[in-house]
Amino acid sequence: MNSQSFNNKSYYWLVAFTRYTTNTQDFLTNLLLKNFEKLPVSVAMKYSEYTLNSATSLHFYRNAEYDYDYEIFAKKASELFDLIIEQLLTEGTVLSQKLSLPNLSKSTLENFLGNKKNYIGPRFLSLETHNKPLRPERPLPF
């Protein structure tokens, strides 16, 4: 990921839309699982809560209309997604300073925080429509 990866993006676009249209794990779950032993403790402690809420939130998005019985899971997964990204990028900044390496995380973190601040509406919903999920053009694979 680079600083442009988060432009006008949120949990909805980076995780939820991808998951409910392809029925695959999201990039953050894969990244955390693959690097679990290297994660900062603060992020590792959020891993199971994030994956549980993120997986359960799929029920919120799957139908033609949002299923508001699952809204709390989508909201929590979105909040944890933002928190984990911020913590990982902050840790990257700290480590680059300790190791005297170029600070690639700083611009990505600044871009992420700026886009988060400017996102219109709840970050677990799409910018295009807040009343129903966007549907893929082809049938879902499940």
Secondary structure string (H, E, C) spanning 36-64: HHHCCHHHHHHHHHHHHHHHHHHHHHCCC
Least confident of 23-27, 29-33, 104-108, 110-114: 23-27
Residues 6+ apart with CB under 8 A from 34: none
Across 81-108, average pLDDT:
93
Exposure string of 35-72, with b = 16+ CB inside 10 Å and e = fewer, is: eeeebbeebeebbeebbebbeebbbbbbeeebeeebbe
Residue 1 has pLDDT above 60, yes or no: no
CB 45 within 8 A of CB 32: no
pLDDT of residue 131: 60
Domain ranges across the chain: 3-118
Give yes or no for a contact between 32 and 43, defined as CB atoms under 8 angstroms apart: yes
How far, rounded to the nearest angstrom, does the alpha carbon of residue 109 sit from its chain's CA centroid?
Answer: 14
- Is the pLDDT at 121 greater than 90? The verdict is no
The pLDDT of residue 15: 86
Higher per-residue confidence, 34 vs 5 = 34
pLDDT, position 100: 93
Would you say 10 and 118 are in contact if contact means Cβ atoms under 8 Å apart? no
